[in-house]
A and B are shown apart, each in its own frame.
Chain A
Amino acid sequence: MNARAAVLLAVLAVLLLLLPAVANSYVLSVATLILFFAYAGQAWNVMMGFAGQLSLGHSLYVGVGAYAAAGLFFHYGIGPWAGIWVAIALCVALGAAIGFLAFRFGISGVYFALLTIAFAEFTRIGFDHIDWLGGPGGLFLKVAQREALDLANLRGPPAMFYYVMLALTAAAFGLCAWLLRSRAGYYWRAIREDEQAAQALGINTFRWKMLAVVVSSAMTAVAGVFFAFYYNNLFPEQIFHISRSIEIILGPVIGGVGTLFGPVLGAAVLTILADAITEVLAALGVEIPGVKQVFYGVVLLVVVMFLPHGIWPPLARKLGLGERS
Protein backbone atom coordinates (compact mmCIF):
# COMPACT_ATOMS: atom_id res chain seq x y z
CA MET A 1 0.00 0.00 0.00
CA ASN A 2 1.38 3.42 -0.89
CA ALA A 3 1.02 6.63 1.14
CA ARG A 4 -1.89 7.85 -0.93
CA ALA A 5 -3.87 4.67 -0.32
CA ALA A 6 -3.14 4.90 3.41
CA VAL A 7 -4.46 8.47 3.55
CA LEU A 8 -7.62 7.59 1.62
CA LEU A 9 -8.20 4.57 3.83
CA ALA A 10 -7.81 6.72 6.96
CA VAL A 11 -10.28 9.30 5.58
CA LEU A 12 -12.74 6.54 4.80
CA ALA A 13 -12.34 5.10 8.29
CA VAL A 14 -13.03 8.49 9.91
CA LEU A 15 -16.11 9.05 7.72
CA LEU A 16 -17.44 5.61 8.60
CA LEU A 17 -16.83 6.20 12.30
CA LEU A 18 -18.72 9.51 12.20
CA LEU A 19 -21.60 8.27 10.06
CA PRO A 20 -24.06 7.34 12.89
CA ALA A 21 -23.83 10.93 14.21
CA VAL A 22 -25.32 12.33 11.01
CA ALA A 23 -27.23 9.51 9.38
CA ASN A 24 -30.89 8.69 9.93
CA SER A 25 -31.99 5.15 10.72
CA TYR A 26 -32.61 4.28 7.06
CA VAL A 27 -29.14 5.34 5.94
CA LEU A 28 -27.66 3.52 8.91
CA SER A 29 -29.47 0.30 8.03
CA VAL A 30 -28.22 0.49 4.43
CA ALA A 31 -24.68 1.17 5.68
CA THR A 32 -24.88 -1.81 8.03
CA LEU A 33 -26.05 -4.01 5.16
CA ILE A 34 -23.16 -2.78 2.99
CA LEU A 35 -20.68 -3.62 5.72
CA PHE A 36 -22.28 -7.04 6.18
CA PHE A 37 -21.83 -7.86 2.49
CA ALA A 38 -18.35 -6.31 2.45
CA TYR A 39 -17.39 -8.58 5.34
CA ALA A 40 -18.97 -11.75 3.92
CA GLY A 41 -17.52 -10.95 0.49
CA GLN A 42 -14.10 -10.53 2.04
CA ALA A 43 -14.46 -13.96 3.65
CA TRP A 44 -15.52 -15.58 0.37
CA ASN A 45 -12.68 -13.79 -1.40
CA VAL A 46 -10.12 -15.66 0.72
CA MET A 47 -11.22 -18.89 -0.90
CA MET A 48 -11.92 -17.78 -4.46
CA GLY A 49 -9.96 -14.57 -4.85
CA PHE A 50 -6.80 -15.70 -3.11
CA ALA A 51 -6.75 -19.50 -3.47
CA GLY A 52 -8.91 -19.89 -6.59
CA GLN A 53 -11.47 -22.26 -5.04
CA LEU A 54 -14.97 -21.30 -6.18
CA SER A 55 -17.60 -21.66 -3.46
CA LEU A 56 -21.23 -21.15 -4.43
CA GLY A 57 -22.44 -22.37 -1.07
CA HIS A 58 -21.26 -19.80 1.44
CA SER A 59 -24.81 -19.44 2.75
CA LEU A 60 -24.02 -22.74 4.49
CA TYR A 61 -21.57 -21.04 6.86
CA VAL A 62 -23.77 -17.97 7.35
CA GLY A 63 -26.70 -20.23 8.24
CA VAL A 64 -24.89 -22.69 10.48
CA GLY A 65 -23.10 -19.84 12.26
CA ALA A 66 -26.39 -17.98 12.74
CA TYR A 67 -28.33 -21.00 13.98
CA ALA A 68 -25.53 -22.14 16.32
CA ALA A 69 -25.29 -18.82 18.16
CA ALA A 70 -29.04 -18.14 18.06
CA GLY A 71 -29.90 -21.63 19.30
CA LEU A 72 -27.51 -21.39 22.25
CA PHE A 73 -28.89 -17.95 23.14
CA PHE A 74 -32.51 -18.97 22.70
CA HIS A 75 -32.35 -22.18 24.72
CA TYR A 76 -29.61 -21.59 27.28
CA GLY A 77 -29.16 -17.84 27.33
CA ILE A 78 -25.54 -18.24 26.20
CA GLY A 79 -24.42 -14.89 24.81
CA PRO A 80 -23.23 -14.40 21.23
CA TRP A 81 -19.62 -13.76 22.19
CA ALA A 82 -19.45 -17.27 23.64
CA GLY A 83 -21.70 -18.78 20.98
CA ILE A 84 -19.50 -17.34 18.26
CA TRP A 85 -16.80 -19.88 19.10
CA VAL A 86 -19.24 -22.76 18.75
CA ALA A 87 -20.39 -21.25 15.44
CA ILE A 88 -16.80 -20.97 14.21
CA ALA A 89 -15.96 -24.50 15.33
CA LEU A 90 -19.00 -25.96 13.54
CA CYS A 91 -18.34 -24.04 10.33
CA VAL A 92 -14.65 -24.91 10.34
CA ALA A 93 -15.57 -28.58 10.76
CA LEU A 94 -18.03 -28.35 7.86
CA GLY A 95 -15.59 -26.45 5.66
CA ALA A 96 -12.82 -28.91 6.45
CA ALA A 97 -15.10 -31.84 5.62
CA ILE A 98 -16.05 -30.33 2.24
CA GLY A 99 -12.46 -29.37 1.55
CA PHE A 100 -11.16 -32.79 2.49
CA LEU A 101 -13.69 -34.58 0.28
CA ALA A 102 -12.95 -32.33 -2.67
CA PHE A 103 -9.19 -31.90 -2.44
CA ARG A 104 -8.44 -35.46 -1.38
CA PHE A 105 -10.29 -36.83 -4.40
CA GLY A 106 -9.14 -34.17 -6.83
CA ILE A 107 -12.51 -32.43 -7.31
CA SER A 108 -11.84 -28.94 -8.60
CA GLY A 109 -13.28 -26.07 -10.59
CA VAL A 110 -16.95 -26.33 -11.47
CA TYR A 111 -17.28 -29.69 -9.73
CA PHE A 112 -16.00 -28.21 -6.51
CA ALA A 113 -18.54 -25.39 -6.84
CA LEU A 114 -21.31 -27.99 -7.32
CA LEU A 115 -20.19 -29.76 -4.16
CA THR A 116 -20.44 -26.51 -2.16
CA ILE A 117 -23.96 -25.92 -3.53
CA ALA A 118 -24.94 -29.48 -2.63
CA PHE A 119 -23.79 -29.11 0.97
CA ALA A 120 -25.65 -25.82 1.39
CA GLU A 121 -28.80 -27.28 -0.16
CA PHE A 122 -28.99 -30.43 1.90
CA THR A 123 -28.24 -28.48 5.04
CA ARG A 124 -31.17 -26.22 4.16
CA ILE A 125 -33.43 -29.23 3.82
CA GLY A 126 -31.98 -30.83 6.94
CA PHE A 127 -32.69 -27.75 9.06
CA ASP A 128 -36.37 -27.96 8.11
CA HIS A 129 -36.44 -31.09 10.27
CA ILE A 130 -34.60 -29.80 13.33
CA ASP A 131 -37.49 -28.92 15.62
CA TRP A 132 -35.09 -27.78 18.34
CA LEU A 133 -34.20 -24.87 16.07
CA GLY A 134 -37.75 -24.18 15.00
CA GLY A 135 -37.76 -26.18 11.77
CA PRO A 136 -39.35 -24.53 8.74
CA GLY A 137 -41.37 -22.24 11.04
CA GLY A 138 -38.22 -20.36 11.97
CA LEU A 139 -36.30 -19.39 15.09
CA PHE A 140 -37.03 -16.03 16.70
CA LEU A 141 -34.90 -14.11 19.16
CA LYS A 142 -36.58 -11.73 21.54
CA VAL A 143 -36.21 -8.15 20.37
CA ALA A 144 -35.18 -6.08 23.38
CA GLN A 145 -35.85 -2.36 23.77
CA ARG A 146 -33.83 -0.83 20.99
CA GLU A 147 -32.52 1.97 23.18
CA ALA A 148 -30.82 -0.07 25.89
CA LEU A 149 -27.26 -0.91 24.96
CA ASP A 150 -26.30 -4.47 25.89
CA LEU A 151 -23.18 -5.25 23.93
CA ALA A 152 -22.57 -8.51 25.80
CA ASN A 153 -25.78 -9.95 24.37
CA LEU A 154 -25.68 -7.96 21.10
CA ARG A 155 -28.95 -6.22 21.98
CA GLY A 156 -29.12 -2.54 21.35
CA PRO A 157 -29.78 0.36 19.01
CA PRO A 158 -28.98 0.25 15.26
CA ALA A 159 -25.80 2.28 15.83
CA MET A 160 -24.42 -0.53 17.98
CA PHE A 161 -24.95 -3.07 15.18
CA TYR A 162 -23.39 -0.63 12.75
CA TYR A 163 -20.26 -0.27 14.87
CA VAL A 164 -19.99 -4.00 15.49
CA MET A 165 -20.19 -4.66 11.74
CA LEU A 166 -17.73 -1.86 11.04
CA ALA A 167 -15.25 -3.37 13.50
CA LEU A 168 -15.69 -6.82 11.94
CA THR A 169 -15.21 -5.47 8.42
CA ALA A 170 -12.10 -3.54 9.44
CA ALA A 171 -10.70 -6.63 11.17
CA ALA A 172 -11.40 -8.78 8.10
CA PHE A 173 -9.73 -6.21 5.88
CA GLY A 174 -6.66 -6.16 8.13
CA LEU A 175 -6.53 -9.94 8.33
CA CYS A 176 -6.75 -10.30 4.54
CA ALA A 177 -4.09 -7.64 3.98
CA TRP A 178 -1.79 -9.49 6.35
CA LEU A 179 -2.58 -12.91 4.84
CA LEU A 180 -1.84 -11.68 1.32
CA ARG A 181 1.64 -10.56 2.37
CA SER A 182 2.40 -13.74 4.23
CA ARG A 183 3.55 -17.12 2.99
CA ALA A 184 -0.10 -18.21 2.78
CA GLY A 185 -0.93 -15.34 0.42
CA TYR A 186 1.90 -16.21 -1.95
CA TYR A 187 1.08 -19.91 -1.89
CA TRP A 188 -2.64 -19.35 -2.38
CA ARG A 189 -2.09 -17.13 -5.38
CA ALA A 190 0.35 -19.67 -6.84
CA ILE A 191 -2.32 -22.37 -6.47
CA ARG A 192 -4.92 -20.06 -8.03
CA GLU A 193 -2.70 -19.33 -11.02
CA ASP A 194 -1.40 -22.85 -11.71
CA GLU A 195 -1.77 -25.66 -9.23
CA GLN A 196 0.65 -28.04 -10.94
CA ALA A 197 3.40 -25.45 -11.14
CA ALA A 198 2.74 -24.56 -7.49
CA GLN A 199 3.20 -28.17 -6.48
CA ALA A 200 6.45 -28.41 -8.43
CA LEU A 201 7.75 -25.49 -6.35
CA GLY A 202 7.28 -27.49 -3.17
CA ILE A 203 3.82 -26.30 -2.15
CA ASN A 204 1.65 -28.90 -0.44
CA THR A 205 -1.45 -27.76 -2.31
CA PHE A 206 -3.84 -29.90 -0.27
CA ARG A 207 -2.75 -28.34 3.00
CA TRP A 208 -2.89 -24.73 1.77
CA LYS A 209 -6.25 -25.15 0.05
CA MET A 210 -7.59 -26.60 3.30
CA LEU A 211 -6.29 -23.55 5.15
CA ALA A 212 -8.11 -21.26 2.72
CA VAL A 213 -11.41 -23.09 3.28
CA VAL A 214 -10.95 -23.09 7.05
CA VAL A 215 -10.15 -19.36 7.24
CA SER A 216 -13.01 -18.48 4.91
CA SER A 217 -15.61 -20.62 6.71
CA ALA A 218 -14.52 -19.33 10.13
CA MET A 219 -14.86 -15.72 8.96
CA THR A 220 -18.25 -16.42 7.40
CA ALA A 221 -19.50 -18.06 10.60
CA VAL A 222 -19.01 -14.73 12.36
CA ALA A 223 -21.12 -13.03 9.69
CA GLY A 224 -23.84 -15.58 10.49
CA VAL A 225 -23.77 -14.79 14.20
CA PHE A 226 -24.16 -11.10 13.43
CA PHE A 227 -27.01 -11.86 11.03
CA ALA A 228 -28.90 -13.83 13.70
CA PHE A 229 -28.70 -11.07 16.32
CA TYR A 230 -29.33 -8.26 13.87
CA TYR A 231 -32.41 -9.69 12.19
CA ASN A 232 -33.64 -11.81 15.13
CA ASN A 233 -35.38 -14.34 12.89
CA LEU A 234 -33.96 -17.28 11.01
CA PHE A 235 -35.65 -19.48 8.42
CA PRO A 236 -33.77 -22.35 6.73
CA GLU A 237 -35.57 -21.53 3.50
CA GLN A 238 -34.05 -18.05 3.49
CA ILE A 239 -30.69 -18.20 5.17
CA PHE A 240 -29.38 -21.31 3.39
CA HIS A 241 -30.89 -20.39 0.04
CA ILE A 242 -28.53 -20.32 -2.94
CA SER A 243 -29.57 -16.74 -3.68
CA ARG A 244 -27.89 -15.81 -0.37
CA SER A 245 -24.66 -17.40 -1.56
CA ILE A 246 -24.92 -15.49 -4.82
CA GLU A 247 -25.54 -12.22 -2.98
CA ILE A 248 -22.35 -12.80 -1.00
CA ILE A 249 -20.21 -13.33 -4.08
CA LEU A 250 -21.67 -10.47 -6.16
CA GLY A 251 -19.81 -7.84 -4.14
CA PRO A 252 -16.32 -9.23 -4.72
CA VAL A 253 -17.09 -10.22 -8.32
CA ILE A 254 -18.23 -6.70 -9.18
CA GLY A 255 -15.62 -4.98 -7.03
CA GLY A 256 -12.72 -7.20 -8.09
CA VAL A 257 -12.04 -10.84 -7.19
CA GLY A 258 -8.75 -11.31 -5.39
CA THR A 259 -8.32 -7.65 -4.46
CA LEU A 260 -8.47 -6.30 -0.91
CA PHE A 261 -10.79 -3.38 -1.49
CA GLY A 262 -12.91 -4.92 -4.27
CA PRO A 263 -15.36 -6.72 -1.94
CA VAL A 264 -15.94 -3.51 0.02
CA LEU A 265 -16.46 -1.36 -3.07
CA GLY A 266 -18.62 -3.98 -4.78
CA ALA A 267 -20.87 -4.36 -1.73
CA ALA A 268 -21.31 -0.57 -1.53
CA VAL A 269 -22.07 -0.10 -5.22
CA LEU A 270 -24.52 -2.99 -5.39
CA THR A 271 -26.41 -2.27 -2.18
CA ILE A 272 -26.74 1.46 -2.84
CA LEU A 273 -27.83 1.06 -6.45
CA ALA A 274 -30.26 -1.75 -5.67
CA ASP A 275 -31.85 0.30 -2.89
CA ALA A 276 -31.93 3.42 -5.05
CA ILE A 277 -33.76 1.58 -7.80
CA THR A 278 -36.30 0.18 -5.35
CA GLU A 279 -36.85 3.68 -3.92
CA VAL A 280 -37.19 5.35 -7.30
CA LEU A 281 -39.67 2.73 -8.51
CA ALA A 282 -41.63 3.04 -5.28
CA ALA A 283 -41.74 6.82 -5.70
CA LEU A 284 -43.04 6.38 -9.24
CA GLY A 285 -45.66 4.02 -7.94
CA VAL A 286 -44.35 1.12 -9.99
CA GLU A 287 -44.08 -2.21 -8.31
CA ILE A 288 -42.18 -4.92 -10.12
CA PRO A 289 -41.49 -8.08 -8.16
CA GLY A 290 -37.91 -9.35 -8.46
CA VAL A 291 -36.58 -6.07 -9.85
CA LYS A 292 -33.58 -6.32 -7.51
CA GLN A 293 -32.57 -9.69 -8.95
CA VAL A 294 -32.94 -8.38 -12.51
CA PHE A 295 -30.80 -5.42 -11.54
CA TYR A 296 -28.10 -7.70 -10.07
CA GLY A 297 -28.11 -9.65 -13.32
CA VAL A 298 -27.71 -6.53 -15.44
CA VAL A 299 -24.87 -5.15 -13.28
CA LEU A 300 -23.11 -8.51 -13.39
CA LEU A 301 -23.41 -8.67 -17.18
CA VAL A 302 -22.09 -5.15 -17.64
CA VAL A 303 -19.16 -5.70 -15.30
CA VAL A 304 -18.23 -9.09 -16.81
CA MET A 305 -18.36 -7.63 -20.33
CA PHE A 306 -16.59 -4.32 -19.78
CA LEU A 307 -14.61 -4.71 -16.56
CA PRO A 308 -13.76 -8.40 -16.32
CA HIS A 309 -11.43 -7.79 -13.37
CA GLY A 310 -14.07 -5.78 -11.51
CA ILE A 311 -14.48 -2.09 -10.84
CA TRP A 312 -11.66 -1.69 -8.35
CA PRO A 313 -8.47 -2.60 -10.31
CA PRO A 314 -8.97 0.03 -13.07
CA LEU A 315 -10.19 2.56 -10.50
CA ALA A 316 -7.17 1.93 -8.28
CA ARG A 317 -4.88 2.51 -11.26
CA LYS A 318 -6.66 5.77 -12.10
CA LEU A 319 -6.33 6.96 -8.51
CA GLY A 320 -2.68 5.95 -8.45
CA LEU A 321 -3.19 3.49 -5.60
CA GLY A 322 -1.70 0.53 -7.39
CA GLU A 323 -3.29 -2.40 -5.63
CA ARG A 324 -2.84 -5.49 -7.75
CA SER A 325 -4.71 -8.70 -7.36
Chain B
Amino acid sequence: MALLALQSVSKSFHGLRAVSGVSFEVAEGAIVGLIGPNGAGKTTIFNMVAGVYAPDRGEIRFAARRIEGLRPDQVCAAGIGRTFQIVRPFAGLSVLENVVIGALERAAGVPEARRHADEILERLGLAAKRDLPAAALTLPDRKRLEVARALATRPRLLLLDEVMAGLRPTECDQMVAVFREINRREGLTILLIEHVMRAVMALAQDIVVLHHGEVIAHGTPEAVVRDPAVLECYLGEGAEV
Protein backbone atom coordinates (compact mmCIF):
# COMPACT_ATOMS: atom_id res chain seq x y z
CA MET B 1 0.00 0.00 0.00
CA ALA B 2 1.49 3.31 -1.03
CA LEU B 3 1.84 5.84 1.77
CA LEU B 4 2.50 8.68 -0.67
CA ALA B 5 1.26 8.74 -4.25
CA LEU B 6 1.75 11.46 -6.85
CA GLN B 7 -0.41 11.25 -9.92
CA SER B 8 0.26 13.37 -13.03
CA VAL B 9 1.49 16.28 -10.94
CA SER B 10 2.48 19.44 -12.84
CA LYS B 11 3.70 22.86 -11.80
CA SER B 12 4.80 25.86 -13.86
CA PHE B 13 6.42 29.09 -12.73
CA HIS B 14 5.76 32.04 -15.06
CA GLY B 15 5.28 29.69 -17.99
CA LEU B 16 8.35 27.61 -17.17
CA ARG B 17 7.36 24.00 -16.59
CA ALA B 18 9.22 22.96 -13.47
CA VAL B 19 7.39 19.67 -13.03
CA SER B 20 5.28 18.04 -15.68
CA GLY B 21 3.09 14.98 -15.35
CA VAL B 22 5.07 13.33 -12.57
CA SER B 23 3.65 10.13 -11.07
CA PHE B 24 5.29 7.84 -8.55
CA GLU B 25 4.53 6.10 -5.29
CA VAL B 26 6.34 5.65 -2.02
CA ALA B 27 5.43 2.45 -0.18
CA GLU B 28 4.90 2.46 3.57
CA GLY B 29 8.21 1.75 5.30
CA ALA B 30 10.29 2.30 2.15
CA ILE B 31 13.27 4.58 1.58
CA VAL B 32 13.00 6.18 -1.84
CA GLY B 33 15.61 8.42 -3.48
CA LEU B 34 14.69 11.29 -5.78
CA ILE B 35 17.63 12.19 -7.99
CA GLY B 36 18.30 14.22 -11.10
CA PRO B 37 20.47 17.05 -12.39
CA ASN B 38 20.12 20.59 -11.07
CA GLY B 39 16.84 22.17 -12.09
CA ALA B 40 15.16 18.80 -12.64
CA GLY B 41 12.26 19.77 -10.36
CA LYS B 42 13.14 17.75 -7.26
CA THR B 43 12.73 20.52 -4.72
CA THR B 44 9.55 21.72 -6.47
CA ILE B 45 8.08 18.25 -5.94
CA PHE B 46 9.07 18.40 -2.28
CA ASN B 47 7.49 21.79 -1.89
CA MET B 48 4.26 20.57 -3.44
CA VAL B 49 4.11 17.55 -1.15
CA ALA B 50 4.96 19.74 1.84
CA GLY B 51 2.26 22.28 1.01
CA VAL B 52 4.47 25.23 0.04
CA TYR B 53 2.89 25.30 -3.44
CA ALA B 54 -0.27 23.73 -4.75
CA PRO B 55 0.25 21.78 -8.00
CA ASP B 56 -1.34 23.26 -11.15
CA ARG B 57 -2.63 19.82 -12.05
CA GLY B 58 -2.58 16.33 -10.61
CA GLU B 59 -3.22 14.65 -7.28
CA ILE B 60 -1.07 14.02 -4.24
CA ARG B 61 -2.35 11.39 -1.82
CA PHE B 62 -0.91 10.71 1.60
CA ALA B 63 -2.31 7.74 3.54
CA ALA B 64 -5.17 7.61 1.03
CA ARG B 65 -6.08 11.25 1.68
CA ARG B 66 -5.78 14.07 -0.86
CA ILE B 67 -3.27 16.59 0.47
CA GLU B 68 -2.49 18.84 -2.50
CA GLY B 69 -3.27 22.46 -1.69
CA LEU B 70 -3.09 22.02 2.10
CA ARG B 71 -0.97 24.52 4.02
CA PRO B 72 2.48 23.38 5.26
CA ASP B 73 1.30 23.20 8.88
CA GLN B 74 -1.66 21.02 7.84
CA VAL B 75 0.66 18.72 5.88
CA CYS B 76 2.88 18.45 8.95
CA ALA B 77 -0.14 17.66 11.11
CA ALA B 78 -1.12 14.95 8.61
CA GLY B 79 2.22 13.25 9.31
CA ILE B 80 4.83 14.57 6.87
CA GLY B 81 8.03 16.07 8.24
CA ARG B 82 10.53 17.90 6.07
CA THR B 83 14.00 19.40 6.09
CA PHE B 84 15.10 22.36 3.99
CA GLN B 85 17.88 22.20 1.43
CA ILE B 86 19.32 25.40 2.86
CA VAL B 87 19.11 24.75 6.57
CA ARG B 88 16.79 27.05 8.49
CA PRO B 89 17.51 26.68 12.20
CA PHE B 90 15.85 29.10 14.63
CA ALA B 91 19.22 30.76 15.04
CA GLY B 92 18.48 32.77 18.18
CA LEU B 93 17.11 29.79 20.09
CA SER B 94 18.99 26.95 21.74
CA VAL B 95 19.39 23.57 20.08
CA LEU B 96 16.95 22.07 22.58
CA GLU B 97 14.37 24.83 22.03
CA ASN B 98 14.55 24.26 18.28
CA VAL B 99 13.64 20.62 18.73
CA VAL B 100 11.03 21.32 21.44
CA ILE B 101 9.14 23.47 18.92
CA GLY B 102 8.92 20.50 16.56
CA ALA B 103 8.02 18.15 19.41
CA LEU B 104 5.12 20.38 20.51
CA GLU B 105 3.25 19.32 17.37
CA ARG B 106 2.27 16.03 19.01
CA ALA B 107 2.91 16.74 22.69
CA ALA B 108 0.24 17.73 25.19
CA GLY B 109 2.49 20.35 26.74
CA VAL B 110 5.98 21.77 27.04
CA PRO B 111 7.33 19.23 29.63
CA GLU B 112 6.36 16.28 27.42
CA ALA B 113 7.84 18.01 24.35
CA ARG B 114 11.09 18.57 26.25
CA ARG B 115 11.39 14.89 27.13
CA HIS B 116 10.77 13.87 23.54
CA ALA B 117 13.23 16.50 22.26
CA ASP B 118 15.93 15.22 24.64
CA GLU B 119 15.49 11.67 23.33
CA ILE B 120 15.86 12.82 19.75
CA LEU B 121 18.93 14.94 20.48
CA GLU B 122 20.48 11.91 22.16
CA ARG B 123 19.78 9.77 19.12
CA LEU B 124 21.29 12.29 16.69
CA GLY B 125 24.36 12.91 18.82
CA LEU B 126 23.44 16.50 19.67
CA ALA B 127 22.74 15.99 23.38
CA ALA B 128 26.00 17.61 24.47
CA LYS B 129 25.11 20.74 22.50
CA ARG B 130 21.51 21.07 23.64
CA ASP B 131 22.00 24.42 25.37
CA LEU B 132 24.11 26.10 22.67
CA PRO B 133 22.41 28.67 20.46
CA ALA B 134 21.63 27.08 17.10
CA ALA B 135 23.64 29.86 15.43
CA ALA B 136 26.81 28.47 17.04
CA LEU B 137 26.55 25.06 15.36
CA THR B 138 28.79 23.86 12.54
CA LEU B 139 27.17 22.94 9.22
CA PRO B 140 27.06 19.18 9.90
CA ASP B 141 25.45 19.85 13.27
CA ARG B 142 22.95 22.24 11.70
CA LYS B 143 21.98 19.50 9.28
CA ARG B 144 21.53 17.13 12.21
CA LEU B 145 19.42 19.75 13.97
CA GLU B 146 17.28 20.14 10.85
CA VAL B 147 16.66 16.39 10.88
CA ALA B 148 16.08 16.33 14.65
CA ARG B 149 13.47 19.06 14.42
CA ALA B 150 11.61 17.30 11.61
CA LEU B 151 11.74 13.96 13.45
CA ALA B 152 10.40 15.60 16.59
CA THR B 153 7.05 16.17 14.85
CA ARG B 154 6.71 12.33 14.78
CA PRO B 155 6.16 12.07 11.03
CA ARG B 156 5.11 8.92 9.19
CA LEU B 157 6.92 10.22 6.12
CA LEU B 158 10.14 12.21 6.29
CA LEU B 159 11.20 14.38 3.34
CA LEU B 160 14.96 14.94 3.34
CA ASP B 161 16.24 17.64 1.00
CA GLU B 162 20.00 17.16 0.49
CA VAL B 163 20.87 16.59 4.13
CA MET B 164 24.18 14.95 3.15
CA ALA B 165 25.47 17.82 1.02
CA GLY B 166 28.55 19.37 2.56
CA LEU B 167 29.17 16.48 4.96
CA ARG B 168 32.45 14.56 5.03
CA PRO B 169 32.19 10.89 4.02
CA THR B 170 32.38 9.69 7.64
CA GLU B 171 29.71 12.17 8.72
CA CYS B 172 27.62 11.09 5.77
CA ASP B 173 27.92 7.45 6.82
CA GLN B 174 26.86 8.33 10.37
CA MET B 175 23.78 10.07 9.04
CA VAL B 176 22.98 7.10 6.79
CA ALA B 177 23.22 4.83 9.83
CA VAL B 178 20.80 7.03 11.77
CA PHE B 179 18.21 6.93 8.99
CA ARG B 180 18.58 3.19 8.53
CA GLU B 181 18.07 2.65 12.22
CA ILE B 182 14.97 4.83 12.42
CA ASN B 183 13.57 3.22 9.31
CA ARG B 184 14.13 -0.28 10.66
CA ARG B 185 13.05 0.36 14.23
CA GLU B 186 10.04 2.55 13.67
CA GLY B 187 9.13 1.83 10.09
CA LEU B 188 9.56 5.52 9.18
CA THR B 189 9.09 6.06 5.45
CA ILE B 190 11.70 8.34 3.87
CA LEU B 191 11.76 10.21 0.58
CA LEU B 192 15.12 11.84 -0.01
CA ILE B 193 16.55 14.22 -2.55
CA GLU B 194 20.26 13.60 -2.70
CA HIS B 195 23.25 14.34 -4.88
CA VAL B 196 25.66 12.33 -2.76
CA MET B 197 25.40 8.99 -4.55
CA ARG B 198 27.23 7.25 -1.72
CA ALA B 199 24.24 8.00 0.52
CA VAL B 200 21.55 7.30 -2.05
CA MET B 201 23.00 3.93 -3.01
CA ALA B 202 23.39 2.98 0.64
CA LEU B 203 19.91 4.00 1.69
CA ALA B 204 17.36 3.81 -1.09
CA GLN B 205 15.68 0.62 -2.18
CA ASP B 206 13.97 2.49 -4.94
CA ILE B 207 15.09 5.49 -7.00
CA VAL B 208 13.10 7.96 -9.07
CA VAL B 209 15.12 9.91 -11.64
CA LEU B 210 13.86 13.29 -12.78
CA HIS B 211 15.04 15.31 -15.76
CA HIS B 212 13.47 18.55 -17.01
CA GLY B 213 10.53 18.00 -14.69
CA GLU B 214 9.70 14.50 -15.91
CA VAL B 215 10.35 11.03 -14.53
CA ILE B 216 12.84 9.36 -16.87
CA ALA B 217 13.59 6.26 -14.84
CA HIS B 218 12.27 4.48 -11.77
CA GLY B 219 13.68 1.30 -10.25
CA THR B 220 16.25 -0.25 -7.98
CA PRO B 221 19.57 1.59 -7.58
CA GLU B 222 21.38 -1.07 -9.64
CA ALA B 223 18.90 -0.79 -12.52
CA VAL B 224 18.78 2.98 -12.48
CA VAL B 225 22.54 3.53 -12.75
CA ARG B 226 22.61 1.34 -15.87
CA ASP B 227 19.64 3.01 -17.49
CA PRO B 228 20.75 4.65 -20.78
CA ALA B 229 18.35 7.59 -20.32
CA VAL B 230 19.85 8.32 -16.89
CA LEU B 231 23.41 8.12 -18.16
CA GLU B 232 22.55 10.43 -21.00
CA CYS B 233 21.10 13.13 -18.80
CA TYR B 234 24.02 13.03 -16.39
CA LEU B 235 26.92 12.41 -18.75
CA GLY B 236 25.67 13.38 -22.19
CA GLU B 237 24.65 11.43 -25.27
CA GLY B 238 26.57 8.27 -26.15
CA ALA B 239 28.06 7.87 -22.70
CA GLU B 240 28.82 4.33 -21.57
CA VAL B 241 29.88 2.83 -18.30
Where the two chains meet, the residues of A that have a C-beta atom closer than 8 Å to any C-beta of B are 181-183, 186-187, 189-190, 192-194, 196-205, 258, 324-325
Contact between chains at A182 and B88 (CB < 8 Å): no
Which size bracket describes the interface of B in this complex?
20 to 34
Where the two chains meet, the residues of B that have a C-beta atom closer than 8 Å to any C-beta of A are 50, 52, 71-73, 76-77, 82, 84, 88-94, 97, 100-102, 104-105, 109-110, 113, 149-150, 152-153
Given A189-B92, A193-B90, A196-B88, A183 contacting B109 (CB threshold 8 A): yes
Min CB–CB distance A211 → chain B (angstroms): 15
How far is B109's CA from A182's CA once the two chains are assembled, in angstroms? Answer: 8
Partner of B101, one of A186, A205, A258: A186
Contact between chains at B82 and A200 (CB < 8 Å): yes
- Say what secondary structure dominates the interface of chain A: helix
How far is B82's CA from A193's CA once the two chains are assembled, in angstroms? Answer: 18
Min CB–CB distance B126 → chain A (angstroms): 17
Nearest to A205 among chain B residues (CB) is B73
Contact between chains at B110 and A324 (CB < 8 Å): no
- CB contacts (< 8 Å) of A192 on chain B: these are 92
How far is B113's CA from A200's CA once the two chains are assembled, in angstroms? Answer: 17
Contact between chains at B105 and A202 (CB < 8 Å): yes
How far is B100's CA from A183's CA once the two chains are assembled, in angstroms? Answer: 10
- CB contacts (< 8 Å) of B73 on chain A: these are 199-205
- CB contacts (< 8 Å) of A202 on chain B: these are 73, 76-77, 102, 105, 153
Contact between chains at A199 and B72 (CB < 8 Å): yes
Min CB–CB distance A198 → chain B (angstroms): 7
**9 pairs, A vs B, C-beta closer than 8 Å:** A186-B104, A189-B97, A194-B90, A199-B72, A200-B84, A201-B76, A201-B101, A201-B152, A324-B94
Contact between chains at A325 and B92 (CB < 8 Å): yes
Nearest to A183 among chain B residues (CB) is B104
Given A196-B88, A197-B88, A204-B73, A189 contacting B105 (CB threshold 8 A): no
- CB contacts (< 8 Å) of B152 on chain A: these are 201
- CB contacts (< 8 Å) of A200 on chain B: these are 50, 72-73, 76, 82, 84, 150
How far is B72's CA from A189's CA once the two chains are assembled, in angstroms? Answer: 18
How far is B47's CA from A200's CA once the two chains are assembled, in angstroms? Answer: 10
Contact between chains at A201 and B149 (CB < 8 Å): yes
How far is B100's CA from A241's CA once the two chains are assembled, in angstroms? Answer: 41
Contact between chains at A190 and B110 (CB < 8 Å): no
- CB contacts (< 8 Å) of A197 on chain B: these are 84, 88-90, 149
Min CB–CB distance B211 → chain A (angstroms): 27
Min CB–CB distance B85 → chain A (angstroms): 12
